[in-house]
Amino acid sequence: MEIVIVPDAPAGGEIIAEGIAALLRRKPDALLGVATGSTPLPIYDALTAKARAGAVDVSRARIAQLDEYVGLPAGHPESYRSTVLRQVVEPLGLPETAFMGPDGSADDVQAACEAYDRALAEAGGVDLQILGIGTDGHIGFNEPCSSLASRTRIKTLTEQTRVDNARFFDGDIEQVPHHVITQGIGTILEARHLVLLATGEGKAEAVAQTVEGPVAAVVPASALQMHPHATVVVDEAAASKLKLADYFRHTYAAKPGWQGI
């Protein structure tokens, strides 16, 4: 696991966007797994700027969704499908056919979960998966004590996650669904490269447990320690509880340029 400490969120977004651009230069039709929420927005902004400046050709890129609310009507502005289309697909100028995600409004939710796992495999697998982290250490919507081998499935949200997400529903927690479809931790770990971005002091404890604590289901993000190519990018505030922060700074400063992100 590589730990990159940056001054602020825009710097983190720029580093990750350049890593994505480098991937697309090598593999123009790469399948990019995207997360929602406010944290990854600097990544999408920086990648869009690069695409519009002609620094990278994104025309053949494919986009895969990490998770989706269950029960929101099709086209609901806070469904993750709508969010990804609005924040990633449309700014990059991609057609909607470049996007794939689970069906949160399916009559048979379990079948929809299994179908999405198959679709990811049939697409060749995710080349780079962007992740955020919850204050309780969740990735995707794999809440604490999720199986580290779990596949795409339906999950019940904790009250803390619903409180955290109420800001996207005009602050009204009653509008936040209780259930979601999420890629499981086992599914996430199949991506070739995992990139987690965390910003703000509120994420500092979760980051410390993820990076320096034991691998444990109570901190789902700690599963990244088992991945052969995982990158954790954190701003100074999110890095504030890392005991080895100085070591991480030193190793990144000494990193050969040819290694990339």
pLDDT for 74 beyond 80:
no
pLDDT tens, residue by residue, 110-160: 999 999 999 999 999 999 999 999 999 999 999 999 999 999 999 998 888
For 80, the token pair is 């993750």
Does 45 participate in catalysis according to the annotation?
Answer: no
Question: Domains of the chain, with CATH numbers?
Answer: 2-255 (3.40.50.1360)
CA distance 228 to 138: 20
pLDDT of residue 261: 82
pLDDT of residue 165: 85
pLDDT tens, residue by residue, 206-261: 999 999 999 999 999 999 999 999 999 999 999 999 999 999 999 999 988 878 78
Percent of the chain with pLDDT over 70: 100
Q: What is the pTM of this model?
A: 0.94
DSSP 8-class letter at 168: G
Say which of 14, 68, 127, 136 is annotated catalytic. Answer: 136
What's the sign of the alpha-carbon dihedral 166, 168, 171, 174?
A: negative
Say which of 68, 103, 143, 235 is annotated catalytic. Answer: 143
Say which of 117, 127, 138, 193 is annotated catalytic. Answer: 138
Does 136 participate in catalysis according to the annotation?
Answer: yes
Does 143 participate in catalysis according to the annotation?
Answer: yes
Q: Among residues 70, 17, 75, which one has the least CA distance to residue 48?
A: 17
Residues in the chain: 261
pLDDT of residue 157: 86
Say which of 14, 67, 117, 164 is annotated catalytic. Answer: 67
